[in-house]
Amino acid sequence: MLTSFLRPQILLPLCAFFLVLSTSVTYASPIRVGNVHLPNLQIGMSASSSVSTLTVPEETSEQTYHFPTYTTLFEYNAIGLKFEGDMPPNSVSGYITTIAESGQKTNYAIEMVGDDLRDDGVVVQASAPIITHNVHAFTLTLTLHTKNNIRPTITDVEVVYIDSRTSTTSILPDAQTSQTAPTDATQDEPEEIANTDAYTYTTSDGYAVSSEPLYTIPYTSNITIISREDWGADESYRYTTDSETEESIEVWPTEYSQPQAFITPHTSGSDGGEDPAATIRAIYYFHAIVYGWGDIGYNYIIDPAGNIYEGRAGGDAVIGGHAYNSQTQTGFNTGSVGIVLLGCYETSEGACATLNTPTQPMLTALEDLVEEKSHLFGIDVNEQIDFHGTSTYRLNGHRDVSATLCPGDLAYDYLSSVRADLATVDKSSLEVRNSIITQAFITDSEGNTIQKSDLKKDTDYTLSITVLNTGQKRWLRKNTYLIVSNGESDTTPSLFASTSWPEADGHIKWDKGQKKAFTYDTVHFTIPFHTPSTRPKAVDMHIHIYTNVKNQTEPQDVGGIQSIFE
């Protein structure tokens, strides 16, 4: 996801700077955070040689600064840098050397954020977090490079080190352990954004973006996903207080876009060892607080044991911050699902402080997750598409859309195997899920919105639903219709039948005014229904969408079976 900037250094002899001018420590369970600010730097021991900025002298093209050993206030497992000043792209490189209690030193290349930004393209002058283990000191080497005759000028360097471990965090079980698979209904719902209405807009390259989740009807997942609550996400990071209204608002408002591709980065640091959740909490802190995003940028994270973690809050199809091409200023986050592999898998010399090897449980979990989500969104991972102006597979590595080595050769080479494996899946199964109900609500005879728990028996209501065409073929209103049944194989008249239905199971066409629906178009159905005499919550309503396909005698079920009431 990030490009390593470690390179041969030109070192200034006897050049030392003391990191002593500002230190602080704060506690936010389960994160401990230490900060070391360097607003003023001194050369050697002489106050007369102090400097207020770091820059490149006019007579040279680069300048290297060495900082002496700094002992932190506690052991840390993640460290990174944040800068202030004028820094052209690729104008800062260097490395942090972590020091353990035993005296062991490890060099980590400083990797500047640039290819995993949010789609708004707001530049973050910071490094990627370096994940390490039980160290208590560090040294720092920075090299500034003149780029395009522009000299970088740094007025402040902030070293942020954190301890995201906690004694209450247990080792998570292997993904192979038998567990009850949760449904999306059990996961956190997107928070409502204060003082804003739902909106939908289209980006300049044609990708629809909405503030509303793409669907509200839960589906049953066949895989276990560790929730944000279970891995210890501090949800307070996501919010700030509006200065005018004093209301709590999201730092990074949730937006949604129909997924068309899967992008696979790696975190480029530690694979988490025995406590991968601590590593994820560390990355979350850097993304949410240090970068100022308000949340982690990945949609999903997979650790070497094959555990899958929920990433950015908001559920499926929420737009993340995992793939921004800083060179072309193109955001690939819209329309993609970011599935990151915990660890560093790049074989190029110097790219990884510790080179990891993707484990079979990790790769199996990646394939299982991609398979399930490809069925949900109707994505053929072997198809090549024009994605934001770049020709790529629907399942690709981060390097396919940005100038980066990510996710490393060891992980990237496996993606073709995933595509090959999923190519053996019966393509007809993709057709079953080439529509998604994006919204559903019930109103009474007076137009008031009613919760299903408030339904009364033997009463008329109206169900309004919006359906998204996620398939590759257009629908025509004249031969597309919706039916209602009581169960998957139940052919008896619906218990919710209304006297206005043309047939006992409905056969209801979408609302007038729209004759065609192409890929990623939505259509709206208005369904009058009548609750049975028994308690409504004790019965179920299933929705099927059918369309007649050319050269087929039987209509094609393009909606599968989606439960409205349970």
For 440, what's the count of Cα atoms within 13 Å in the CB-facing half-sphere? 19
Q: Which residues pair with 528 in a beta bridge?
A: 462
Residue spans per domain, the chain = 22-163, 196-429, 432-565
- Bridge-based pairing of strands 300-302 and 336-341 is parallel
The pair of three-digit structure tokens given for residue 44, joined into one six-digit string: 């050697």
CB-based burial, 274-290: b 16+ in 10 Å, e otherwise: ebbbbbbbbbbbbbbbb
Distance CA 530, CA 41 (A): 76
- Give the pLDDT confidence of 343-353 residue by residue, as tens digits: 999 998 878 88
**What would the pLDDT profile of 371-393 be if each residue is shown by its tens digit?**
989 887 878 899 999 999 999 99
Out of 3.40.640.10, 3.40.80.10, 3.40.1390.10, 3.90.650.10, select the CATH number for domain 196-429: 3.40.80.10
Residue 538, number of CB atoms within 10 A of its CB: 10
Lowest mean pLDDT among 250-259, 310-319, 427-436, 536-545: 427-436
- The pLDDT assigned to 181 comes to 27
Q: Which CATH number fits domain 432-565: 2.60.40.10, 2.40.50.100, 3.20.20.70, 2.40.50.140?
A: 2.60.40.10
* 22-163 is a CATH 2.60.120 domain: yes
pLDDT tens track for 33-92: 998 876 444 443 333 445 678 999 988 999 998 888 889 999 999 999 999 999 988 899
Angle at CA 402, nearest 5°, toward 396 and 406? 65
Residue 552 banded pLDDT, cuts 50, 70, 90: very low
- The pLDDT score that the predictor gives to residue 9 is 32
Res 494: pLDDT = 79
Share the mean pLDDT of the chain: 79
Does the pLDDT of residue 215 top 50, yes or no? yes
The pLDDT-based confidence of 219 (bands split at 50, 70, 90) is low
* 433: helix, strand or coil: coil
Q: Which two tokens stand for residue 431?
A: 């057709």
Which is higher by pLDDT, 185 or 321? Answer: 321
pLDDT of amino acid 288: 95
Q: Where is average pLDDT lowest: 195-199, 422-426, 439-443, 476-480?
A: 195-199
Residues 363 and 303: their CA atoms lie apart, in Å, by 10
Query: 113-164: per-residue pLDDT in tens?
Result: 877 788 887 888 999 899 888 899 999 999 999 998 899 999 889 999 999 9
Q: What is the pLDDT of residue 386?
A: 94
Residue 504: C-alpha distances to residues 406, 499, 536 (Å): 55, 9, 18
Lowest mean pLDDT among 15-29, 220-234, 361-375: 15-29
Predicted confidence (pLDDT) at residue 404 exceeds the cutoff of 90 = no
Task: Look at residue 297 and tell me whether its pLDDT is greater than 80.
Answer: yes
Quote the strand ranges of 203-335, DSSP E.
208-210, 225-226, 239-241, 248-250, 261-264, 300-302, 308-310, 324-325, 330-331
User: Which tokens belong to 392?
Assistant: 């790529």
Residues 223 and 307: their CA atoms lie apart, in Å, by 10
> Higher pLDDT residue, 479 or 13?
479
Per the CB < 8 A criterion, the answer to whether 281 and 233 are in contact is yes
The Cβ of residue 180 has, within 10 Å, a number of other Cβ atoms equal to 6
Q: What is the pLDDT of residue 69?
A: 87
Q: How many CB atoms lie within 10 A of CB 379?
A: 25
Higher pLDDT: 197 or 62? It is: 62
Task: Give the pLDDT score at 447.
Answer: 92
- Name which of 183-197, 258-272, 427-441 the model is least confident about: 183-197
Rounded CA separation 549/471 (Å): 12
Nearest-Å Rg of the Cα atoms of the chain is 27
Structure-model confidence comparison of residues 41 and 6, the more confident one: 41
Answer whether 485's CB lies under 8 Å from 501's CB.
no
Between 243 and 565, where is the model more confident? Answer: 243
Instruction: State mean pLDDT over 540-552.
Output: 64
pLDDT for 26 beyond 90: no
Distance CA 520, CA 381 (A): 17
Q: What is residue 285's three-state secondary structure?
A: helix
Q: What is the DSSP string of 510-527?
A: PPTT--EE-TT-EEEEEE
Q: Residue 372, Cβ neighbours under 10 Å: how many?
A: 15
Handedness of CA 470, 471, 476, 479 (dihedral sign): negative
Report the distance separating Cα 423 and Cα 418, nearest Å.
Answer: 8
Nearest to 497 by CA among 452, 528, 471: 528
User: What pTM, to 2 d.p., does this model score?
Assistant: 0.75
Highest-pLDDT range among 251-260, 460-469, 512-521, 533-542: 251-260
Q: For the residues 1-29, what does the mean pLDDT come to?
A: 34
Using pLDDT thresholds of 50, 70 and 90, give the confidence band for residue 551: very low
- Is the pLDDT at 336 greater than 70? The verdict is yes
Where residue 540 falls among pLDDT bands split at 50, 70, 90?
low
Give pLDDT, residue 548. Answer: 65
Widest pairwise Cα distance in the chain: 92
Q: Where are the beta strands (DSSP E) in 303-381?
A: 308-310, 324-325, 330-331, 336-341
- 231: part of which helix (H) or strand (E)? helix 228-231
Q: What is the C-alpha separation between 260 and 519, in angstroms, rounded?
A: 11
pLDDT over 60 (residue 210): yes
Percent of the chain with pLDDT over 70: 77
